Amino acid sequence: MKSLKTHKIKIPIGNPDIGKEEIQAVVETMRSGWFTQGEKVEQFEASFAEYCGAKHGVAVNNGTAALHMALAALDIKEGDEVITTPLSCVATTNPIVYQNAKPVFVDVDPATLNIDPALIKRKITRRTKAILPVHLFGHPIDLDPVIEIAKKHGLYLIEDAAQAHGAKYKGKRVGSFGNISCFSFYADKLITTVEGGIALTNDEELADKMRLLRSFGMSKHEKFQHSVLGYNYKMSDIHAAIGLVQIRKLDHNIESKRHNITYLKKRLKHTSLKLPLELDYAFNVYYVCHILTKKKKEKIVEHLERKGIETRPLLSFIPEQPPYKKYRYNLTDLRVAKDAHERGFYVSNSPSLTEKELDHLASTLNKSVGDAHR
């Protein structure tokens, strides 16, 4: 794609809602004299776990750390295989490799772009230890068949819910189905702690193990005694203080995002663009507005950028990333994911988008599709 001239961004991909309450919470925490991991982190863990319907939360410094800690707690190690999606942020699979295990990719469902449960069985081997699906862009995967497969084959289930805060599967919030479920609180997520993540579980033993792992493997009751090789993945009270305010905004943010998508789908229903959907079993929180084109994606994206609408590629097709080429994946088994990556991109679905901005986005998309087909 041609390089574009610099311009003022009118609709950035992310626009975090950080206001006076969050600023005040940070100031109060700093003035308290304790702002590393402490009571605020414990409060945030309890509050977010309760929101998601899980018993235990272990907050960390980012979502990647949450996934790494989860895999380590489940003793995923060299020689093991973890089944996951080829279409995601590379943060989903990197922690598998950190553990010297191998990511095994299963193609995605063309409707949701989530891992296709019907294709999982054929990828299970004697080395398979876990299934790590992603609730991509805020739409839950079809969990029942995945849970059934995991139980039948004695596999762990790890939910990557980094983009799915508040999403529901058959009326129940995601994050409470897996052995461990992981979220990100990066600046562009549904709620943010600026940097941060959390692992949720209903297993007290796993929660205790993850708390040990995030703090150098050091026991809370025996300072500088390290029973296991741990990490420094702690969240600070400053970040947790922001998160406690943000949790109160989460349902409103979801409502706004759902309104935005309804508006855009109505305005764009006569175009050839494929916009996000919501299947019967799901409550989609629409993390972003991802779009699939029939052709000439580059021309559409260029037009949007010239009109001040920031875009992003449809995350990563991970098997083709340089660190993963050594595994020599059979890409013909991953055609749907590869095609979606080639035809897809996303734009903002910030809860703060105004009516004027939504109109600008819809009008520009309509015009860009018309121009692309000429």
Q: Distance between CA 225 and CA 223 in Å, rounded?
A: 5
CATH number for the segment(s) 20-247: 3.40.640.10
Tens-binned pLDDT, residue by residue, of the chain (374 aa): 344 444 566 999 988 889 999 999 999 999 998 989 999 999 999 999 999 999 999 999 999 999 999 999 999 999 999 999 999 999 999 999 999 999 999 999 999 999 999 999 999 999 999 999 999 999 999 999 999 999 999 999 999 999 999 999 999 999 999 999 999 999 999 999 999 999 999 999 999 999 999 998 888 777 888 888 899 999 999 999 999 999 999 999 999 999 999 999 999 999 999 999 999 999 999 999 999 998 889 999 999 999 999 999 999 999 999 999 999 999 999 999 999 999 999 999 999 999 999 999 999 999 988 765 55
Side-chain-facing half-sphere of 154: CA atoms under 13 Å: 3
Are residues 72 and 158 in contact, defined by beta-carbon separation less than 8 angstroms? Answer: no
Q: Distance between CA 309 and CA 151 in Å, rounded?
A: 45
262 DSSP 8-state letter? H
Q: Distance between CA 134 and CA 147 in Å, rounded?
A: 14
**What per-residue confidence (pLDDT) applies to 374?**
54
| Closest by Cα among 141, 174, 160 to 91 | 160
Catalytic option among 129, 189, 257, 297 = 189
Q: Please state the domain extents for the chain.
A: 20-247, 250-372
**What per-residue confidence (pLDDT) applies to 371?**
61
Q: Distance between CA 339 and CA 271 in Å, rounded?
A: 19
pLDDT tens, position by position, 100-118:
999 999 999 999 999 999 9
Are residues 106 and 78 in contact, defined by beta-carbon separation less than 8 angstroms? Answer: no
Are residues 146 and 152 in contact, defined by beta-carbon separation less than 8 angstroms? Answer: no
Side-chain-facing half-sphere of 334: CA atoms under 13 Å: 22
Are residues 254 and 285 in contact, defined by beta-carbon separation less than 8 angstroms? Answer: yes
Q: Quickly tell me which residue has 């015009």 as its tokens.
A: 367
pTM for the whole structure: 0.94
Domain 250-372 has CATH 3.40.50.720: no
- The CA–CA distances, whole Å, from 25 to 21, 58, 190, 234, 242 equal 6, 21, 19, 19, 6
Residue 234 annotated to the active site: no
